[in-house]
Structure 1
């Protein structure tokens, strides 16, 4: 099935950002270890950057997991329901996840605006805090797009599969 231009763009963005943040995190951590233990000159700013990279990598990785259906699913309870209720439970869970993503996105958007208005910066490098929160807000938007796309794909694919049976 051909992916839409929006989904391809979202895929390109979240994968690219995840790869960059993960690569930087590994390289900076190795560099920090060398500086601390071999050169005996620890980098005071490294922890600050690592924290930002871990947060960004986690959220953009979460977006990839939504697109690739990489989240765990414990369906032991659902399997105990009659087959006709499986679809209802799937839709209920899908809506619940969508509402959660929208709420998290809203809260992170509010936090981004608050940090921007307050002018808070990180302690050592003086990086504006709103940039970190804006990344989380953006990643949550990408997660939401992926969730909706995968949900629509699953809904229509299952509908076709159910009609074929």
Structure 2
């Protein structure tokens, strides 16, 4: 992030909060990954050494995969370490690239909003049903979708603001 531009605009603190949120999500994703490895290890140990597979382990591992992957996908959008094809866009003039970037940001924000809203409906609709073997509401498997959608909206709002406020700088800090 181009910190000098943020300081010049008096906005350093606002973006630091989102930076801290990003780091917290990455940290929690790392903890969930450690839990995932431990649970999978326990499942393998139980199956092949004890001849008694823990029935809850696979279901909990699937839930942890959602907890790891979805919020980190939103972080990937913010930090631009997601997969993308820039070949076609880079062939256009800079002005067209800027417009395409803004449209892309708006579409991603709308996608995040739809993801959050419709996933929240799934959470509400499945709260009274339990996940077999775990005994927790099925809604817990949809909460990471809601979190991911909300984060995408926040991060794309940040990116859109940046694109409109500083048209000659890209979100990754590069200048034209």
TM-score by length of 2: 0.80
Tell me the CA shift for residue 16 of structure 1: 2.9
1:25-104 matches, within 5 Å, as 25-104=36-115
Residue by residue over 1:15-41, the C-alpha shift from the partner in whole angstroms, topping out at 9 and shown as x without a partner, is 232122111001111111111112221
Matched, 1:127 2:136: yes
- Does the 8 Å contact 1:35/1:42 carry over to 2? yes
Matched, 1:141 2:157: no
TM-score by length of 1: 0.85
Deviates more, 1:78-87 or 1:58-67: 78-87
Query: What residue number does 2:25 align with?
Result: 14
- Does the 8 Å contact 2:115/2:145 carry over to 1? no
Considering only aligned residues, what root-mean-square deviation do their CA atoms show, in Å? 2.2
Q: Which runs of 5+ in 1 are unaligned?
A: none
Matched, 1:152 2:161: yes
Flag the structure with higher helix content. Answer: 1
Greater RCO structure (CA 8 Å; 6+ sep): 1
Q: Which runs of 5+ in 2 are unaligned?
A: 4-11
Instruction: Report how many aligned residue pairs link the two structures.
Output: 161
